[in-house]
Amino acid sequence: MIHKKENVTDLPLVLDEKDMGILKLLQVDAKMTIRNIASQLNLTTTPVYERIRKMEQAGVIKQYAAIVDPQKIDKGLTVLCYISLKEHSKKCGAKFIREIVAFTEVTECLNISGEFDFLIKVQVKDMNAYREFYVNKLGEVDNLSHTQSIFVISVIKATHQMVY
Amino acid sequence: MIHKKENVTDLPLVLDEKDMGILKLLQVDAKMTIRNIASQLNLTTTPVYERIRKMEQAGVIKQYAAIVDPQKIDKGLTVLCYISLKEHSKKCGAKFIREIVAFTEVTECLNISGEFDFLIKVQVKDMNAYREFYVNKLGEVDNLSHTQSIFVISVIKATHQMVY
DNA sequence: CCTGAAACTTAAATCCG
DNA sequence: CGGATTTAAGTTTCAGG
């Protein structure tokens, strides 16, 4: 996690080509050194250093993270679960969100358009683990109207890369 | 990206509590030093260093990445797009996948159970950009039967954290 | 806003017990 | 695996254009 200075501005930082070049590289390899980045962008370390610092403080770079392979840590099953609520009041929605977000199995929760209210992505070991989650965790959440589970047969692509 | 040694084994590495502890920390902050990790886990640098190296080579840690905030780089709109194919032969499926994966707007592509064949996640600036993608890119892909777009109203949770 | 070099700081990697 | 050492490296700063 980025440790911002006290006076975080989060001002709408305008990014130019050089910033994008830096992001492009750091997105793929966060451990790339400033020197290396500088040489690839035909710059020196100073501007690269300062641009990275700015992007960290502006929240453009949210985090430096190790990406773990789910398959290798017994979390090889991904399930998408659609959820509709009974009550849509602000209060009830907030309560639902608080409960859902707390589940470590839920790696994603999206408020969506269409027939359902939410889509959550659940990451578990296998079908047994999903049943366990579905019955004992999701099943204990208030205010659920109906749900639908979609199973992921295979992950074709999954990236956080957004700068090209 | 992790630079593995030549003889990559990718053997089913058995992870113990200490490995999980390391992953847990690196998932949140890839820049955490080995010393820091060691002290938090009541270990010395040697075992931590070696465990990390093993997990990198085994592919448990796939990558160290800077996580960028989509909102801050003009990619604030997320759309889920369901896709059904006409032809489901291996050859046609592979062609579809090749084309879809090449689109930089597609940050995720899942082969799913249920009514549709695939779910792709599209990350763009705004609705105009999505229309542009939908018409000129997705629309040019062969073998599509029908599609359905679901718009993400808000992202409640989005994490790659899987070790707790 | 950049260059270039220098100074500083810190971590990675090794070795022996 | 602990502990310390060594070596190497990256980060950060500064003057100057």
pLDDT computed for residue B10 by the predictor: 53
Task: Answer whether B164 touches A (CB < 8 Å).
Answer: yes
What Å value separates CA A36 and C1' D14?
21
Mean per-residue pLDDT, B144-157: 97
Per-residue pLDDT tens digits for A57-76: 999 999 999 999 999 999 99
Q: Are B146 and B85 in contact (CB under 8 A)?
A: no
Neighboring chain B residues of A111 at a CB cutoff of 8 Å: 152-156
pLDDT computed for residue A2 by the predictor: 54
Pairing mode, strands A77-85 and A144-158: antiparallel
Quote the CA–CA distance of A126 and A77 in Å, as a whole number.
5
Per-residue pLDDT tens digits for B95-136: 999 999 999 999 999 999 999 999 999 999 999 999 999 999
pLDDT computed for residue B63 by the predictor: 95
Q: Which of B1, B127, B68, B128 is nearest to A15 (CA)?
A: B68
Q: What average pLDDT does chain A have?
A: 92
The 10 Å Cβ neighbour count of residue A87 is 13
Segments in A29-149 forming alpha helices (H): 34-40, 45-57, 90-102, 127-132
Residue B4, pLDDT above cutoff 50 = no
Neighboring chain B residues of A162 at a CB cutoff of 8 Å: 68, 70, 73, 75, 107, 123
Per-residue pLDDT tens digits for B103-114: 999 999 999 999
Residues with CB under 7 A from strand C: A 18, 42-47, 50-51; B 33-36, 45-46, 49, 53
Prediction pTM value? 0.92
Residue A143, pLDDT above cutoff 70 = yes
Q: How confident is the model at residue A49 (pLDDT cuts 50, 70, 90)?
A: very high
Residue with tokens 């190790």: A66
pLDDT computed for residue B8 by the predictor: 44
Quote the CA–CA distance of B152 and A118 in Å, as a whole number.
9
